[in-house]
Structure formats: structure tokens, C-alpha cells
């Protein structure tokens, strides 16, 4: 199991079996998941989280269970990952929070730590992110953390954002395929 990471207000740790049920309550909530994948069954949620966690053996990272530091309450899930169901987009930052925790800056705090880990510990050259065009809050989180809009990806119905590591040269224009997937 990875180390537990503490930020100013959050505890970020690897997925545990007992996290499935509280995370499913969020993942199955159509309001919480309005702009992303809503999974109605516990089994579907478990399959999704375990697929992400299994990739940790290959990449060294997977999204964390997010807890409040002051009371250890699970409030969401997120961090660095490679989508196990559509891995061609490369490393991306993903997240969701319980609606009762929206608007408190937790997304910005989580993404900031994910970037710190990704560019520092894992020496990644770039990190991607995707947000539905109507999800203004997620777009603000990404922009606050320095992500740049790349393009709207019709196959995903999402805006594609990318952040390059500052000390690495950016790829030349035209070197990425038109759909944004990694060559």
C-alpha cells in the first residue's frame, strides 16, 4: 500500500475494501455524477475502483480515497490515474466529491497534490484532465492548477486539458493525433 498523504485539510490514501460502499453512495448519485460516470450498482462501482487500483502495480499510482483530515470522513475519490477502460489518453487527474463538500476548495487542493506527486515523485512529462463543458466548477479547478485547454473531444463529450512539466520541452505542434490520444 502506498504512503498516506496529508494535505492541509485532506487525507489521501489507497483504496480499501471498506471504502467501496461509501464511495458507491457518491458514485451512484445522479446529482454528484451529473457530468461524469454514474454507476447504479455496488458491483459496478467496485469493478471500476479495483480496475484503477490494479494499475498501480504498473504505474506506481492510482486515485486515492479522499478523507477529511479533521474527522476521517470519506468525501470522495481522485488523483492520478490511467483510465483502465480507455487508457489511450495517458495519465490524467480524476476526481469526484460528495455534493456536500463542493465549493470548499477540496478539488483544487487534491489536484495540486496530484500534480506535485506526478511531476515530482513520478517524474511525468505531462498530465491530462477532462471536464464536461458545462462543469464550470471542475474547469475552474483545472485552470487554477495551471491546466491549459487543448480541445473539445467529441468522442468523450469532454474538454481536454493538459499541463506540461515546467522543466521539460513541450511537443511540437501537430505531433499529437487529432483525437488527442498518445502516439
C-alpha cell at 66: 479522499
Rounded CA-CA distance 183/165 in Å is 19
Nearest to 89 by CA among 118, 119, 126: 126
Output the pLDDT for position 171.
60
Q: What are the 10-residue block averages of pLDDT along the chain, 183 residues in total? A: 85 95 96 93 94 91 96 96 93 97 97 97 97 97 98 96 83 50 46
Output the pLDDT for position 181.
52
Output the pLDDT for position 169.
58
**Where do the domains of the chain lie?**
5-164
Output the pLDDT for position 66.
98
This prediction has a pTM of 0.89
Q: Which overall architecture, per CATH, does domain 5-164 show?
A: 3-Layer(aba) Sandwich (3.40)
Output the pLDDT for position 177.
46
Angle at CA 81, nearest 5°, toward 76 and 83?
105
Nearest to 128 by CA among 82, 61, 170: 82
For residues 90 and 20, the answer to whether their CB atoms sit within 8 Å is: no
Amino acid at each position: 500500500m502506498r504512503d498516506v498523504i496529508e494535505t492541509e485539510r485532506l487525507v489521501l490514501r489507497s483504496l480499501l475494501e471498506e471504502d467501496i460502499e461509501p464511495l458507491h453512495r457518491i458514485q451512484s448519485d445522479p446529482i454528484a455524477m451529473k457530468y461524469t460516470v454514474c454507476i447504479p450498482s455496488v458491483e459496478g462501482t467496485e469493478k471500476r475502483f479495483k480496475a484503477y487500483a490494479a494499475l498501480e502495480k504498473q504505474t506506481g499510482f492510482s486515485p486515492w480515497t479522499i478523507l477529511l483530515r479533521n474527522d476521517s470522513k470519506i468525501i470522495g475519490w481522485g488523483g492520478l490515474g490511467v483510465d483502465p477502460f480507455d487508457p489511450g489518453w495517458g495519465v490524467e487527474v480524476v476526481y469526484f466529491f460528495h455534493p456536500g463538500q463542493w465549493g470548499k476548495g477540496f478539488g483544487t487542493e487534491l489536484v495540486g497534490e496530484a500534480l506535485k506527486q506526478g511531476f515530482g515523485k513520478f517524474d511525468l512529462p505531462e498530465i491530462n484532465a477532462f471536464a464536461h463543458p458545462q462543469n464550470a466548477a471542475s474547469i475552474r479547478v483545472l485552470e487554477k492548477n495551471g491546466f491549459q485547454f487543448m480541445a473539445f473531444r467529441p468522442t468523450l463529450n469532454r474538454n481536454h486539458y493538459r499541463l506540461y512539466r515546467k522543466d521539460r520541452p513541450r511537443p511540437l505542434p501537430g505531433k499529437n493525433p487529432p483525437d488527442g490520444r498518445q502516439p
